[in-house]
Structure 1
Amino acid sequence: MAQTTKYVIKYKLNGERRFEFAQLENGTAEEAKAALDAIHGQDDVISEISVSKAL
C-alpha cells in the first residue's frame, strides 16, 4: 500500500470557492483533479485547483 499524506485541495466548483481534504500520494494537481472528479458529477466545472499539506 502506498504512503499517503493528508492534503487540502482549494478549488472553484462552477465558479464557487470550495475546499476538500484528501489522502494523496504526491499532492499533484493531476492527483487532486482525479480526487475531485470522483466526488463531483461530470457536469460540474472544476477550476483553479491548488494543493497544500493539511496542518
Structure 2
Amino acid sequence: MTVAQTTKYVIKYKLNGERRFEFAQLADGTEEQAKAALDAIHRDTDDVISDIAVSKAL
C-alpha cells in the first residue's frame, strides 16, 4: 500500500461573504482539493463558499 504524501496548507475563503480560514492536509494544494476539503467541512449546510486561496502553512 502506498501512502500519498501530503503537506499542510492554509485555505483562505469567504463563507457567505465572511472571511474565514481553515488548515488542511492536501496532496498538492490545488484549488480543487481545497474546495473538496471545504465542502467536507461545510457539507450539511447551504453556505456559499467563494474567493478560495491556498498557500502552504508556515
Interval containing the TM-score (normalised by the shorter chain): over 0.9
| C-alpha distance in 2 between matches for 1:38 and 1:3 | 20
Q: How does 1:1-55 map to 2 (within 5 A)?
A: 1-40=3-42, 41-55=44-58
C-alpha RMSD over aligned residues: 0.7
- Rg comparison, structure with higher value: 2
**TM (normalized to structure 2)?**
0.92
Which stretches of structure 1, 4 residues or longer, exceed 6 Å deviation after superposition? none
Aligned positions, number:
55
- The answer for unaligned runs of 5 or more in structure 1 is none
